[in-house]
Amino acid sequence: MTTRILAVCLGNICRSPTAEAVLRAEAARAGVSVEVDSAGTSDWHIGKAPYGHAVSAAAKRGYDLTALRARQVRPEDFAEFDLILAMDVDNRNALVAMRNGAVRNAPAAPVRLFLDFAEGAPMLSVPDPYYSRDFEGTLDLIEAAARGLIAQLAQKA
Ligand code: 4NP
């Protein structure tokens, strides 16, 4: 079974495109079938490539973000994906509100905090590197969560 996963942050130019690429790489490494996309809760960067510092930090670890383009979360996403991953609590709350409005009597993907899957992560949210400038720390958290999630999916397969 293929699991369809949507990673979501605020701008869709730093954390969620990074999570998209890392999840894809981790799934390929583990032989787990996934379809991964990412989106933002805001409309601020629609159509834009990921932020340059996120692209270069990811590239140093072997992840290519260059083909990705930002889009906004849409109501259909709740039906078209199996799992929606929020990069932080604010975006989780925005997604839960959207999900409540988007679906009545329709199947809707669960919304989970991405860091729920990161073993031993001390926080709930991936801090926004656009403000923190800690692109390496962002990658460390995203890699840990991706490993945890893909390991769970591998066990279920
Ligand atoms: P992201 O980071 O949510 O991880 O993509 C951000 C990028 C840009 C802005 C906010 C967050 N911004 O305010 O433009």
Residue 21: CB atoms within 10 Å? 28
Smallest CA separation from ligand 1 atom 11, residue: 11
Question: What domains can be seen in the chain, in order of their start residue?
Answer: 3-156 (3.40.50.2300)
Mutate to test the pocket of ligand 1, among 128, 133, 142 (most ligand atoms within 8 A of CB): 128
Task: Identify the pLDDT of residue 153.
Answer: 98
Spacing, Cα 9 to ligand 1 middle (Å): 8
pLDDT of res. 103: 61
Distance CA 21, CA 45 (A): 18
**Shortest-distance Cα residue to atom 6 of ligand 1:** 11
pLDDT of residue 100: 86
140 in catalytic set: no
Per-residue confidence (pLDDT) for residue 104, from 0 to 100: 64
State the pLDDT at residue 5.
Answer: 98
Token look-up 């787990």 returns 32
Quote helix, strand, coil % in the chain, to nearest 5.
45, 15, 40
pLDDT of amino acid 157: 75
What tokens were used for 125?
A: 């949210």
Task: List, chain by chain if needed, residues with CB within 6 Å of any ligand 1 atom.
Answer: 9-15, 44, 128, 130
Q: What per-residue string of b and e applies to 73-110 under the rule 16 or more CB within 10 Å gives b? A: beeebbeebbbbbbbbeebbebbeebbeebeeeeebbe
pLDDT at 105: 66
Q: With beta carbons less than 8 A apart as the criterion, state whether 11 and 48 touch.
A: no
Question: 15 catalytic, yes or no?
Answer: yes
Q: What is the pLDDT along the chain (157 residues), one digit of tens a residue?
A: 999 999 999 999 999 999 999 999 999 999 999 999 999 999 999 999 999 999 999 999 999 999 999 999 999 999 999 999 999 999 999 999 999 886 666 779 999 999 999 998 889 999 999 999 999 999 999 999 999 999 999 998 7
Collapse the DSSP code of 97 into the 3-class scheme (helix H, G, I; strand E, B; otherwise coil) and give the result: helix
Q: Of residues 77, 99, 128, 147, which has the active-site annotation? A: 128
Query: Measured in angstroms, how far is the CA atom of residue 129 from the centroid of ligand 1?
Result: 8
Q: Which atom of ligand 1 is nearest to the CA of 126?
A: 4
